[in-house]
Structure 1
Amino acid sequence: MNRITVLGFEGAFNLPIWVGHRQRHFEKHGLEVSLEYVKGSVDMVNRLTSGTAQIALTSVDNVLAYRSGQGETANGSAPDLVAFMGGDHGFLSLMSRPEITAVSQLRGKTLSVDALTTGFAFLLREILAANRIALTDVAFDAAGGTGNRYRALVAGKHDGTLVRTPFERLAEGQGCNVLVSGKSLFADYLGTVGAVLQSWACRNRAQLVGFLLAYREALNWIFDASNGNAIVEILRTEFAQLTRDDARAVLDDLVDPAHGLIRDMEIPDAGLALVSRIRDSHALVPTNGPFVDCVDRQYLRLAQQAAGWSR
């Protein structure tokens, strides 16, 4: 068995990994895959570049940022980093403390992000701009990944943050409010991608193709309606506070054909262009080079040509 460590963030979008373990899809392809949650995007990039992990499930904005030297690690750069598969469309919601019921009430408040200039930080700025809230009207606090931000929000440490499913439903259960749903504003947004260092991928082509095939099998299992009850139980196992009804609603979001998990695992150029435009609108300097440079589809194409893909 070849070992692959996958880095990610807390959230229901990790369902293909959990299913892959339970249904032994990874094992079928000779892989022992472990999923480890990172503190934030800086920790993620540091671990990839140090070789202690091989794959990351992360915002495509992180790939754009580090590819062009605009990240927040010591040197801000990971020029070897590329996206090799599409994951999802974000599942993002802007949440607030119970007493805040409108985006306009965020003026003078503190909002938390993973990192200040990567990930979904610029999407949050885009939402604020759409609601005529200047950056000088709010304070930003780098608080790490989604789970950390959710816990800080319900503890009253911040006034608002972007969270990803199922944390919007968990936060609502704690009295917090959904102010904006990302899909209502950005229909083509590209959220999670699979990212890898090109140098590792080139040396481990068979392992990466095997990972893609196993992930595809997990997605097919998830999109099979007959597995719905089993998936609800998986979600409730991973998130103990999730009610059965909320777990069913999360599953509906995950398999939404327009806004859910990307079943064909493609990386849509429209989504890339949108993320790139938002980054260039708010970054101090534009990203260097065309956004398509951060994508390497050769491994996905090899997987798609394999016999196991067509199912």
Structure 2
Amino acid sequence: MIGGRLWRIAVATLLAGLTLAFGPGSAEAQAPRLDEVSVSVFPGGFNWPSYVAQDNGLFAQHGIHVTLQATPGSVAQMTGLSQGHVDLAMTAIDNVVAYVEGEGEAPIGPQPDFVAVMGSDSSFLSLVTTSDIKSYADLRGRTLSVDARTTGFAFVLYDMLARKGLSQSDYSVEPAGGMTQRWSALKQHAQAGTLLSTPFNILARDAGFNQIATATDVIGPYQGIVAATRRSWARDHRADVVGFIRAYGQAVDWLYDPKNHDAAIRILTKNVPNISPELAEKTYAELLDPHAGFFRKGRMSIPGVRTVLALRTRYAMPHKVLADPMKYYDSSFYRAAMRQSPFVIHR
């Protein structure tokens, strides 16, 4: 199946070249149609590689047309994925683990069909609080917000606080939804703190809120966002999955190339409403930090997945001992994507 698909991509590439050389005509009319792939995402600058892959035509070069669909939170996202309303989801791998194990927040039951196929980043999580909170100790008796109490990044928050001497009885948590919703609630002082990803943590700092710590500085390697899908859909659309991974990986490489800095900033400001040039520059510095930025080529951090499993083993109910990263990650798609094809165009 992949071989036939790659042949179609090769033909499309050749015809595109002929069209450029000799002008529009029959070659353009004969170009194969791109496969439609819908991807659920949380709004924010951390979708930068997907924006690049769209704007630079990388998805199209690999035979797919990708539509990004914003989700308000993990419950809606995982429900939509289970019902086939979206093909892929850029989501926390903890969500994949939770729903596979039947511990998800949404009332959709166990989802053994869920699987991660590509890594992306650590989620760039930072504990951000209101200006009156100066230390972990100041959070005693206060309320913090999470996306959902039993999935996503709630366990990261619990563990960060536990490592600094706070038990879950020392504070309370409220579900507030995704990053946009949690930042909005924090601005209104509805809660005293939450975990925010870049660029929301930058917005918070600039508005006078306190960034207490970054998650990875406290808990170590962490696999945050991944590309997840249903095993059944991935089997039937293997070439689309491989094409998505390859295009995403190329987009990350493109972002890390210093000569693309100005173009990268233009793409970010085009796709993220109301982001200022100054905020875009600060976002660039964090998301493309050589040591803490996007994972090169969309790789999966297996040590980071082990951290996720250790946190879920420690905090999830009912208690289960989870230890095998490969139960939730099918690496065959990533391995196929990393094999170079003579038909791949590098920008």
Question: Which range, TM-score by smaller chain?
Answer: over 0.9
Is 1:123–2:123 an aligned residue pair?
Answer: no
Is 1:146–2:179 an aligned residue pair?
Answer: yes
**Deviations 1:92-123 (CA, angstroms, capped at 9, x unpaired):** 11111122221211111111100101000000
Matching of residues 211-290 of structure 1 within 5 Å:
211-284=244-317, 285-287=319-321, 290=324
Whether the 8 Å CA contact 1:65–1:287 is kept in 2: the answer is no
Once structures 1 and 2 are overlaid, which stretch shifts more, 212-221 or 236-245? 236-245
Structure 1 counterpart of 2:175, one-letter code: A
- The verdict on how the C-alpha distance between 1:184 and 1:82 changes in structure 2, with shifts beyond 3 A counting, is same
Once structures 1 and 2 are overlaid, which stretch shifts more, 156-165 or 97-106? 97-106
Is 1:170–2:203 an aligned residue pair?
Answer: yes
The CA deviation at 1:66 is 0.8
SS at match of 1:83: strand
Once structures 1 and 2 are overlaid, which stretch shifts more, 79-88 or 210-219? 210-219
**Deviations 1:175-202 (CA, angstroms, capped at 9, x unpaired):** 2110111131133111111111000000
Matching of residues 75-154 of structure 1 within 5 Å:
75-154=108-187
Give distance in 1, aligned partners of 2:161 and 2:183: 19
Is 1:4–2:37 an aligned residue pair?
Answer: yes
**Deviations 1:114-162 (CA, angstroms, capped at 9, x unpaired):** 0101000000000110121121121111111111101110121111100
How many pairs were matched up? Answer: 311
Whether the 8 Å CA contact 1:64–1:291 is kept in 2: the answer is no
The CA deviation at 1:243 is 4.2
Q: CA RMSD in A?
A: 1.8
Within the candidate set 185, 188, 194, 1:155 is matched to 188
Equivalence for 2:70:
37
SS at match of 1:79: coil
SS at match of 1:178: strand
**Deviations 1:36-94 (CA, angstroms, capped at 9, x unpaired):** 12121111111111111000111111111111111112144211111100100120111
Equivalence for 1:205:
238
Whether the 8 Å CA contact 1:114–1:120 is kept in 2: the answer is yes
Equivalence for 1:304:
338
Give distance in 2, aligned partners of 1:305 and 1:240: 36
Give distance in 2, aligned partners of 1:123 and 1:106: 16
Equivalence for 1:47:
80
Is 1:184–2:204 an aligned residue pair?
Answer: no
Give distance in 2, aligned partners of 1:20 and 1:105: 43
SS at match of 2:208: coil
Computing the radius of gyration from Cα coordinates, the structure with the larger value is 2
Is 1:196–2:251 an aligned residue pair?
Answer: no
Give distance in 1, aligned partners of 2:270 and 2:191: 28
Structure 1 counterpart of 2:220, one-letter code: A
SS at match of 1:169: helix
Unaligned runs of 5+ in 2: 1-33
- The verdict on how the C-alpha distance between 1:244 and 1:187 changes in structure 2, with shifts beyond 3 A counting, is farther
Once structures 1 and 2 are overlaid, which stretch shifts more, 178-187 or 161-170? 178-187
Unaligned runs of 5+ in 1: none
Q: TM-score, structure 1 length as denominator?
A: 0.94
Equivalence for 1:295:
329
- The verdict on how the C-alpha distance between 1:175 and 1:58 changes in structure 2, with shifts beyond 3 A counting, is same
Percent identical among aligned pairs is 35
Equivalence for 2:93:
60
Structure 1 counterpart of 2:61, one-letter code: K
Give distance in 1, aligned partners of 2:345 and 2:234: 20
Q: TM-score, structure 2 length as denominator?
A: 0.85
Whether the 8 Å CA contact 1:304–1:310 is kept in 2: the answer is no
SS at match of 1:264: helix
Equivalence for 2:31:
none
SS at match of 2:298: coil
